[in-house]
Amino acid sequence: MTDSGNKRGGRGRGAWRGGRGWVPKPTVPSFSENDIDYGNFSLNETLGLSNVPYKGWYRYFPDEEYSAISPIVLKTRAAVDFFETLKSSLSLKELEDRRYFNLEVRLILQNDHLLSSWTNFEDDLREDPGRTISCLGLALHTVACTLPSSDAYSDLPYLRIRIVHYQPVIPLRDIKAGLFGKLITIRGTVIRVGPTRLLCTRMGFACVVCRQPQALTLKDGAYGTPKSCPADECRSKNFVPLCSSPLTQTKNLQIIKLQESIGDDDAKNGGGRVPRSVEVEFTDDLVDSCSPGDTVTITGIVKINNEEGKKKNGANLFTLFLEGNSIQNAKGSSGRLANNVEFSLKDYYAIQEIHNEVDIFRLLVNSVCPAVYGHELVKAGILLSLVGGAIQQSNSPISKRPLIHVLIVGDPGLGKSHMLHAAAAVAPRGVYVCGNTTSSSGLTVTLCRESGGDFALEAGALVLANHGVCCIDEFDKMTSQHQALLEAMEQERLSVAKGGVVCTLPAHSTIIAAANPKGGHYNKSKSVVENLKMSAPLLSRFDLVFILLDKPNEEMDCLLSEHVLALHTGARSNSENVSLRTTFHEDPNESLNLNVSCVPQMRLINRLKILPGEAVELVPQELLRKYIAYVRKYVPCPKLSPEAGQVLQNFYLELRGSHRDKDSTPVTTRQLESMIRMTESSTFLGTCQSGAP
């Protein structure tokens, strides 16, 4: 018979409850947080920092013991001397309200006095950024305490140092284990924004026996309890957390997901792999600093996090994430500054050489998609769409969109998909999607439920193409998603009202779509609306609608077959198109049999065509992409002249009168606005001056 006091009496779990050898657990006395007396409590004494000369030491180095000869103190003194030089530009009230300070690295690297005392500052900032930034923060805190009226602020808050313009920018694919703990700068597109939560950085505890309060710093938000009571006569090890105590300190926390920007090296080289992404952790003032679709540049510290897995070895798996230190959002600048294309001196010379051409528009149009023969008007429309119209001023009371949407409708096999791929590759920021595999959420925005039950916003194709181009192929296969495009194409935004979340996201994306008509071939006896599987409101939002018909033509078929055979036999290799020199402008009267002054008087389709036997070396794709980015970034917005406005008005009235009695798409003021945008776009490309057509 088993003894009741034996451990086996409870089937291996100890003694029976209430039986022999059972000892009840001590009960925790119940008391309210209001019963805690903080009268004789000192946080500095609790942390053992009452004799530290730096008032903010415990805020920046909670786990470090103060020593006058420690490297931290020596580096802090050098940083104090640096901030003394900036003392005249510091505002105590501004520091108190903002609680952060933007510090450009070049200011420190140009300060010889600081570098003489802190010789390895640049290495410390890269290799040990946490301690280095804390030294800078403590130095700023010390200098702020000496500013005038500092007595009014008896206890300055934690001042965060934000490192801005830190170079170089590292691609997301290069973030590996070797960068753990280092300071880096990355650039990408925000594809997911999580909810805002509270992270506890310091927790107050009270002893259950003597009710003595104390504070414990929680490193990286990991929960822990004190080892023993600080009172000498107690030394209890049981504590109660004080969530509402003044000793408890929390901060806002938000996690976003950053993806490689569409249009980076892998995108323009044809892709072939899943875009890399990384999670970024934002705290305090960085929370809600971006939204899905924004292109941002983030500086932060690479850290690791445990993967939550059900496997036995899940605790040994880690993921890299970035602890954000500063962020630069491209949406805060001009709308034409949304791309991240960098220009070299060689690029500027090449752009200047393009600008010196006699007929720039003809050269650029034929360089858009050289693999497809003909369709010069379609390529011209795509080129105008890539550039876009003039951006309205932020203080303008009139709302107008600068985007030029293009729809290409035609029989199969005419190169519509090739031209869409070329448009996405040439655009400084381009997204290509196929309609038969795209959902409405994947096109706009998705609500994802987080582990805590809150919702997070995940960007779709239109949001990712913000300030760029979204190319949609097989547009007729996604009839159920057409309604989601109505607001985005006209108002340039997406309104979301799902799962209790109501918000609006920017969608300044140009749409270039390709569709097949009903039945596979275009029926000329029917109108455009009858040939397409789309509503009239959606069709009216397209500025340009091209109809491509596969009609037999002996001359055109001969030229097309020669072009295709030349591409496959190597007679016209890609290496011949790397030079920028063109031959068609050297003697325009000989090659085109016309004068430059009479170029605008020709029909556009005849002006854009390359004559048989004419040698034209086109602009390579990468240079064309940079030229478009240069135009969107640096060329000032044109203004429509009265003469050009009169020409557009007369053409609009003529167009409206000719479509009054016909059963076709109605001509509205949207067509007039479309003509204005295309005139502005052609002015950007240098084909006309001051908006003159």
pLDDT digits (tens, 9 = 90+) for 326-384: 998 876 544 444 456 778 888 888 888 888 887 888 888 888 888 887 788 888 888 88
What's the whole-model pTM score? 0.73
The phi, psi pair for 326, rounded to 5°, reads -155, 160
Number of Cβ within 10 Å of residue 634's Cβ equals 11
What's the pLDDT at 633?
82
- Ordered DSSP codes for 277-309: EEEEEEEGGGTTS--TT-EEEEEEEEEEEE---
Asked if residue 445 lies in contact with residue 463, where contact means CB atoms within 8 angstroms, the answer is yes
For residue 503, what are its two tokens? 């918000």
600 pLDDT more than 70: no
Q: Give the pLDDT of residue 583.
A: 30
Q: How many CA atoms lie within 13 A of 60 on its CB side?
A: 28
Whether 301 and 163 have beta carbons less than 8 Å apart is answered as: no
Q: Convert the pLDDT of each residue in 74-107 to its tens digit.
A: 888 888 888 888 888 888 888 888 888 888 888 8
Kindly report the average pLDDT of the chain as a whole number: 76
Closest CA to 516 of 482, 492, 547, 541: 547
Look at residue 609 and tell me whether its pLDDT is greater than 50. yes
More confident residue, 48 or 291: 291
CA 151 to chain centre: 42
The pLDDT confidence band at residue 566, using thresholds 50, 70 and 90, is low
> For residues 481 and 485, which has the higher predicted lDDT (pLDDT)?
485
Type of residue found at 278: V
Q: Give the contacts of 617 (CB within 8 A, at least 6 positions apart).
A: 576, 577, 579, 580, 581, 582, 583
Tens of pLDDT, residue by residue over 202-249, are 888 888 888 888 888 888 778 888 888 888 788 788 888 888 888 888
Res 589: pLDDT: 32
* Residue 299 pLDDT grade (very low, low, confident, very high; cuts 50, 70, 90): very high
- The pLDDT of 480-491, averaged and rounded, is 79
Whether 687 shows a pLDDT value over 60: the answer reads no
pLDDT bin (cut points 50, 70, 90) of residue 594 is very low
Q: How far is CA 574 from CA 62, 144, 617, 625, in A?
A: 62, 62, 10, 17
Residue 500: what pLDDT?
A: 72
261-294 pLDDT, tens per residue? 765 454 444 455 677 889 999 988 888 888 888 8
Q: What is the 3-state secondary structure (H, E, C) of 485-529?
A: HHHHHHHCEEEEEECCEEEEEECCEEEEEEECCHHHCCCCCCCHH
DSSP 642: H
State the pairing for strand pair 501-506/493-498: antiparallel
CA–CA gap between residue 423 and residue 417 (Å, rounded):
10
Match 């109108």 to its residue by tokens.
Answer: 527
Q: What pLDDT sits at residue 184?
A: 92
Instruction: Using pLDDT thresholds of 50, 70 and 90, give the confidence band for residue 300.
Output: very high
311 secondary structure, DSSP code: S
CB neighbours of 689 closer than 8 A, spacing ≥ 6? 683
Does 20 or 572 have the greater pLDDT score? 20
pLDDT of residue 671 exceeding 70, the answer is: yes
Higher pLDDT, 540 or 556: 540
- Is pLDDT at 19 greater than 70 in this prediction? no
| Per-residue pLDDT band at 664 (split at 50, 70, 90) | low
Comparing 538 with 34, which gets the higher pLDDT?
538
CA neighbor of 513 nearest in space, from 567, 470, 572: 470
Residue 10: pLDDT over 70: no
CB-based contacts of 485, cutoff 8 Å, min separation 6: 443, 462, 511, 538, 541
Say yes or no to pLDDT of 42 above 70: no
Q: Which of 128-137, 408-417, 556-565, 640-649 has the lowest mean pLDDT?
A: 556-565
Take residue 77 and report the two structure tokens written for it.
């003194």
- pLDDT at residue 584 is higher than 50: no
Q: For the chain, list the domains and their CATH numbers.
A: 1-25 (no CATH), 34-161 (no CATH), 184-332 (2.40.50.140), 405-550 (3.40.50.300)
pLDDT at 28 exceeding the cut of 50: yes
The one-letter amino acid code at 279 reads E
Can you tell me the distance from the alpha carbon of 313 to that of 36, in angstroms, rounded to the nearest whole number?
44
pLDDT attached to residue 567: 61
Q: Is it the case that residue 390 has pLDDT exceeding 60? A: yes
User: What confidence tier does 302 reach under pLDDT thresholds 50, 70, 90?
Assistant: very high
Q: Which residues contact 269 (CB under 8 A, 6 or more apart)?
A: none
For the chain, the first-to-last Cα distance in angstroms comes to 107
Structure tokens at 515: 């569709």
Instruction: Name the amino acid, one letter, at 194.
Output: G
What the block records as the tokens of 22 is: 């059972």
Question: How confident is the model at residue 598, as a pLDDT?
Answer: 36
